[in-house]
Structure formats: structure tokens, C-alpha cells
């Protein structure tokens, strides 16, 4: 590959840790300048510095094998060796805008690229305070979102070298990554950079009503970092982030997503303009959106009251099941269906799905993230994921069906799906 040292094996070309941008702390990223020497795309790039993930109890560790570095604007590409004008799928990882990385082994896309005959790009971006909550006195925000836009521009300018078609791009993401997909669609700067979008388990109910919480967090961060936020140690930044998370806890449901893109700050429109923007983009972008049957289960389990209910035996389990169902509908289900209805009402092509499958004895049922091992398709990479229960089983036939739907959508859009309302479960 011209300019990038890649690995070719088993019918795929892989490039990892490819730099798409550079940035100073709390400053917008700039495109990476290509060096005169061959870039090494054979090693995984770094993850943004981060605190331990609250979802390790669901996924198992995700970034433990990666180095941490603020200089983390990297992406990875997997492409069939014979790729020529193939659809491109660009993945944005989840992690509540606080944790994760596109370089994680659990998100490797070899199976997706090979089975679906697509070119897949995994994007890493700045997280937490580094990407989504600058201190007072620094007139920049939404840096992580801007990183994502810069990565999409890299795809437009470079993906043909890997056999991808820059005019056939689908963006997709799960949880905060799914929420990112909506933010990217709302930005005028992304027009022409993608044509299709998949939103998986986006917590859409906590996008609005964040203003007071964000102001409180910004004050806490400013106090914690003092007059030298740009030169404070990474450890001090993460300590300030922990304080900001604590400050968010008193603001109700929105505190479940302490960091997120901020409406009304560039490049996002303000909240009042969002409906008009959706009406504008819906006819131009095909959308697949959905959630899992028990999406909220891990978050309900984190609440202190859940431990008390768990000691009540069968009655406690029934109550927890009712609470989980209600929370799933409120945070994930109803907002996804409303967005789909809005999309269709404005002339957009849209389909919805619900992922119902879970292994026997899975502790959280068909919970948040349960679709990911099925999508990425390497059971060994998820063998330490508690959500998969004691057997760590994945239904191979169902996983193949999921990948066929996702990559088929990237090839041919809504027309390839057999139904506008999909349900994934063992038949």
C-alpha cells in the first residue's frame, strides 16, 4: 500500500494505527501530514487516556492490551485483498464517550470485511474531558466529534487506495458510537462524506436537557485544573474527570452519559434547529436504527437498590425485570422509534431492528453490547465477556445473519432488507 506498511494475510489487507490527525490538548485536530518515510500500519495504535470502564462487568476488558496516549487520532482499515470500488463501513466505538478505542481486539473487523466484501474502517477519537468538556476559558468544544469528522475526511481522500469507494460510505456505531452517528448526521460539515448510517443502542433519551449538568461539570473541571489545564499531567486530567462524573450524579438520568457532544456548540446546531436539520437530511441518508431487548439491564444492575432487590429472590428478579424493561423503552426503544418515524415522515428510507438473542444463563439477558460479538464474529475475542454467561456462547447462524444484514445494507441500502422491522433471535 503506497505510503503505509500493511499486513496481507488470509485474503485481507490490514492497516492498523494509521494516523489521520494530530492535535494539541483542548485544540481542534489538524490533518496528519504524510511523512516521507513509509508509515507503519502493522501495529495497533494507542487509546485515549481513560478511567476503568464501568462496562467491564459486561464486555470484559476492552483496551487493556493498548497503550494510552493523548496523541490517539488513529484509525485501522480491513479490506479484501481484491477490493475495487467496494462499499466502505466506518465504525465508531462506544463507551459513554469515556472509554474504548477503535484499535481494540474486540472490535477487529476481519470477519465483517471478508464475509460482507466491504472495506471497514475503525476510528479512535478523543474521550472524556479530552474530547467533550473543555475547561472555562478555552473556547473550543466537541473536539471528539470534530476528530470523527476529520477521520471521515481521511476516508474520503484515502480509502480508494484500499479498494473502497469514497462515494459509498456507511457510518455505524454502538452506544456512544451510535449517538455519534446522529451527531455526525446533524453536522453540515459532513455532507457528502457518507450516504448510509446504522445506529445501535444509542441512548437518545439523554441527549437533551444536559445544559445545567454540563455547566456544573465545567466549573468542577476548571477548579480542579486551575490556571494550567493545557500543561496539567494526564493523571490530573483524569482526576478532574472523575470529579466531573461525581458532580453529574445529582442531575438524574442524563448523568448516565456524563460526556457527550454539546448542542449549540460548533459543529452542532442548537437544540431548536435539530428538527429542521433532520427534515433536511432524512431524504439523503438511509438509516438502520435499533436496540437490544434488555439494553438497560447492566445500568439497572449498577444501581445500589438493585442489590437489595436481588436479595428478595424471585420477587426481586421480577421487579428488576420490570424496571429493566421500562428503562430500556425509555432510554433506547421509544427514542429510536421516534427518530425512525421522523425519518420516514420527512421522506427518508429507514428500517428498525431489535436484538433479542442471549445465551442461556446470560446474567443480563439480551443486554447492552450483546450484539457486538455477533457483529464482529470472533468468539475467542469475547471469551472473557461476562454478558455471554458461563458458556461464552455465540450463535454462529444468527451472527452470520447480523453481518449479512449490516454489510448488505452498506452494499444496497434498505432495499436489501426483507423487512422494515427486523428482529434478531434464534429461529
User: What pLDDT is recorded for position 2?
Assistant: 61
What is the C-alpha to C-alpha distance for residues 289 and 284, in angstroms, rounded to an integer?
16
Cell representation of residue 228: 494550567
Contact partners, residue 308, CB within 8 Å, separation at least 6: 316
Lowest-pLDDT range of 85-89, 159-163, 205-209, 403-407 = 205-209
DSSP annotation of 68: B
What is the C-alpha to C-alpha distance for residues 247 and 210, in angstroms, rounded to an integer?
13
What is the C-alpha to C-alpha distance for residues 152 and 20, in angstroms, rounded to an integer?
9
Q: Are 232 and 225 in contact (CB under 8 A)?
A: yes
Residue of 132, 275, 143, 330 lying closest to 213 (CA atoms): 132
Task: Show the CA angle centred on residue 46, arms to residues 57 and 109, nearest 5°.
Answer: 70
pLDDT over 70 at 165, yes or no: yes
DSSP 211-223: HHHHHHHHHHHHH
pLDDT over 80 at 12, yes or no: yes
84-111 mean pLDDT: 97
| CATH number for position 337 | 3.40.50.1820
pLDDT confidence of 37, banded at 50, 70, 90? low
222-247 mean pLDDT: 95
| Bridge pairing between strands 119-123 and 7-9 | unpaired
The structural domain count of the chain equals 1
Task: Show the CA angle centred on residue 422, arms to residues 416 and 427, nearest 5°.
Answer: 105
Contact partners, residue 58, CB within 8 Å, separation at least 6: 298, 364, 367, 368, 369, 385, 386, 387
How much is the mean pLDDT over the chain? 93
What's the pTM value of the predicted model, to 2 decimals? 0.96
Q: Are 82 and 163 in contact (CB under 8 A)?
A: yes
User: What pLDDT is recorded for position 118?
Assistant: 98
Describe the strand order of the beta sheet including 74-80 as a list of residue ranges: 7-9, 12-19, 74-80, 119-123, 86-92, 164-174, 196-200, 286-292, 350-355, 421-424
Determine which helix (DSSP H) or strand (DSSP E) holds 349, and give its type and residue range.
none
Q: What is the span of the domain harbouring residue 101? A: 4-424
Lowest-pLDDT range of 175-179, 258-262, 342-346, 418-422 = 418-422
Cell representation of residue 402: 447480523
- 353 phi/psi in degrees, rounded to 5: -145, 160
Amino acid at each position: 500500500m503506497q505510503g503505509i506498511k500493511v499486513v496481507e494475510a488470509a485474503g485481507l489487507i490490514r492497516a492498523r494505527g494509521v494516523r489521520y490527525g494530530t492535535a494539541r490538548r483542548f485544540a481542534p485536530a489538524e490533518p496528519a501530514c504524510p511523512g516521507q518515510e513509509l508509515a507503519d500500519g502493522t501495529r495497533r495504535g494507542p487509546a485515549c487516556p481513560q478511567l476503568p470502564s464501568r462496562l467491564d462487568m459486561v464486555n470484559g476488558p476492552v483496551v487493556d492490551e493498548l497503550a494510552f496516549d493523548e496523541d490517539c487520532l488513529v484509525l485501522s482499515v480491513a479490506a479484501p485483498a481484491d477490493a475495487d470500488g467496494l462499499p466502505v463501513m466506518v465504525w465508531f466505538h462506544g463507551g459513554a464517550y469515556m472509554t474504548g478505542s477503535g484499535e481494540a481486539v474486540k472490535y477487529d473487523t476481519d470477519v465483517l470485511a471478508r464475509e460482507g466484501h466491504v472495506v471497514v474502517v475503525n476510528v479512535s477519537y478523543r474521550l472524556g474531558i479530552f474530547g467533550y468538556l473543555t475547561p472555562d476559558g478555552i473556547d473550543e468544544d466537541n473536539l471528539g466529534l470534530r476528530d470523527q469528522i476529520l477521520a471521515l475526511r481521511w476516508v474520503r481522500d484515502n480509502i480508494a487506495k484500499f479498494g473502497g469507494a469514497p462515494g459509498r460510505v456507511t457510518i455505524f456505531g454502538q452506544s456512544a458510537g451510535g449517538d455519534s452517528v446522529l451527531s455526525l448526521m446533524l453536522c453540515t460539515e459532513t455532507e457528502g462524506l457518507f450516504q448510509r448510517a446504522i445506529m445501535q443502542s444509542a441512548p437518545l433519551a439523554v441527549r437533551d436537557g444536559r445544559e445545567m449538568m454540563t455547566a456544573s461539570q465545567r466549573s468542577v473541571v476548571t477548579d480542579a485544573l486551575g490556571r494550567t489545564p493545557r500543561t496539567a499531567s494526564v493523571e490530573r486530567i483524569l482526576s478532574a474527570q472523575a470529579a466531573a462524573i461525581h458532580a453529574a450524579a445529582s442531575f438524574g438520568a442524563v448523568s448516565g452519559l456524563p460526556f457527550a457532544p454539546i448542542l449549540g456548540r460548533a459543529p452542532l446546531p442548537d437544540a431548536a434547529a435539530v428538527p429542521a436539520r433532520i427534515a433536511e437530511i432524512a431524504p439523503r441518508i438511509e438509516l438502520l436504527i435499533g436496540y437490544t431487548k434488555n439494553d438497560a439491564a447492566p445500568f439497572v444492575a449498577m444501581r445500589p437498590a438493585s442489590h437489595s432487590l436481588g436479595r428478595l429472590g424471585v420477587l426481586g428478579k421480577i421487579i428488576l425485570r420490570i424496571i429493566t424493561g421500562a428503562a430500556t423503552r425509555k432510554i433506547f426503544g421509544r427514542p429510536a422509534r421516534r427518530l425512525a418515524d421522523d425519518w420516514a415522515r420527512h421522506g427518508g428510507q429507514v428500517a428498525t431492528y431489535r436484538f433479542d438473542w442471549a445465551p442461556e444463563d446470560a446474567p443480563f439477558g439480551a443486554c447492552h453490547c450483546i450484539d457486538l460479538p455477533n457483529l464482529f464474529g470472533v468468539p475467542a475475542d469475547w471469551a472473557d465477556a461476562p454478558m455471554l454467561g458461563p458458556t461464552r456462547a455465540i450463535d454462529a447462524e444468527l451472527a452470520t445473519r447480523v453481518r449479512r444484514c449490516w454489510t448488505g445494507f452498506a452494499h444496497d441500502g434498505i432495499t436489501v432488507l426483507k423487512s422494515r422491522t427486523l428482529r434478531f433471535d434464534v429461529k
